[in-house]
Homo-oligomer: A and B are copies of this chain.
Amino acid sequence: MDFGHVTIKTLANITGFSTTTVSRVLNGTYKKYRVSEKTAVIIHAEAKKLGYIPNQAAVNLRLKKNQSIGLIVPSLANPFFSTIASIISKAFYNRNYSVYMIDCDENQQIEKETINKISAQNLDGLIVIPSGNEYDHLERIISIKLPTIFIDRYFEDLSIPFVSTDHFQGALSAVELLVKNGHKKIACIQGNPTVISSTERVKGYKAGIEKYALDFEYVGGHEFTQQAGHEEMKRILELEDRPTAIFALSDTISLGVLEALKEGGYHIPEDFSLVSFDNSLYLDYLECPITSIAHPVEKIAERAVELLFESMENVLSVQDSSLFAPKLIERDSIRKLC
């Protein structure tokens, strides 16, 4: 086997057929053009022998599509996103599409460059979990009619449909559970405040505070990371008027909370109650298993894939979005105060 630099032209020269015929045989359209079986066999054989693989860049340029989609995520270091990414990948593979994933490091600037570049690759579609609150670059996506779906984070002002957990409901239910257990002083540690998954959860938290007329309200934090959670929890530990419960808006944040508590010699749920968001696999095996809000990950992925295919057929709008109810998984991290 040579493998050197085999194109349809090489094969055309060797077999004596035209590049057209070779192309037709190799891309599977030859039946339509009634190329003879004999010819097809010859060409296939030669292609196999030389290890021919069609140049995707050429195919793309010509067809403006290539059976592949892009998946833009804020950070694969966050298990929630890497899990979603993995599931989405599989779903597209089953539909015979490749998924090219890009990690934007929760950085809006990187996201913009990335989206500009990838949108010029002639991909068939895009699934994006945005890293910030700007969307001028996304307007371009719309104007070039590149089918796109948001997951988890979205912009209600844009015509791009989204699929997400109902962040507000999730947060509200967490507060309610805490209140039901007698907590009146609940602090919230948020993630990236430029992003709707964080702001909606904060809204849910505040709605809970208001609903039960609690007079303690505290929102800290600024990033969905362990480090940020750690910093914020240390700050909370220095408060004069300390909360009895912490509501951390992601499992990564919760890890930081646990870190700070461990350093300070505090325990869950004796010293603080904790509710988290994301429901990572390891939560069950922690020193104190943590109550957490679970995203309906499979549902979200499935629906996103479905929507993307739909939007490859006809133009969709925000109206086609889905918000799925999260599920509160109760474990042992809430102390009963009443």
* A residues whose Cβ falls under 8 Å from a Cβ of B: 1-5, 51, 53-58, 60-61, 68, 75-77, 79, 82-83, 85-87, 89-90, 93, 98-103, 105, 110, 114, 116-122, 139-140, 143-144, 226, 255, 258-259, 262, 280-282, 284-287
The winner among A90, A140, A259, A280 for most chain B CB atoms within 10 A is A90
- Cβ contacts under 8 Å, A86 to chain B: 75-77, 103, 105
The winner among A101, A102, A110, A119 for most chain B CB atoms within 10 A is A101
B102 in contact with A103 (CB, 8 Å):
no
- Cβ contacts under 8 Å, A287 to chain B: 285-287
- Cβ contacts under 8 Å, A143 to chain B: 1-4, 51
- Cβ contacts under 8 Å, A89 to chain B: 76, 102-103, 105
- Cβ contacts under 8 Å, A58 to chain B: 61
Q: What's the nearest-Cβ distance from chain B to residue A214, in Å?
A: 28
B98 in contact with A117 (CB, 8 Å):
yes
B122 in contact with A57 (CB, 8 Å):
yes
> What are 7 A-B contacts with C-beta separation under 8 Å?
A51-B143, A55-B120, A57-B57, A57-B120, A58-B61, A100-B102, A282-B286
B56 in contact with A121 (CB, 8 Å):
yes
- Cβ contacts under 8 Å, A262 to chain B: 284-285
- Can you list the 3 inter-chain pairs with the closest CB atoms, starting with the nearest? A82-B82, A3-B143, A57-B60
Interchain CA distance A116-B58 in the complex, whole Å: 15
Interchain CA distance A132-B312 in the complex, whole Å: 34
The winner among A5, A89, A259 for most chain B CB atoms within 10 A is A89
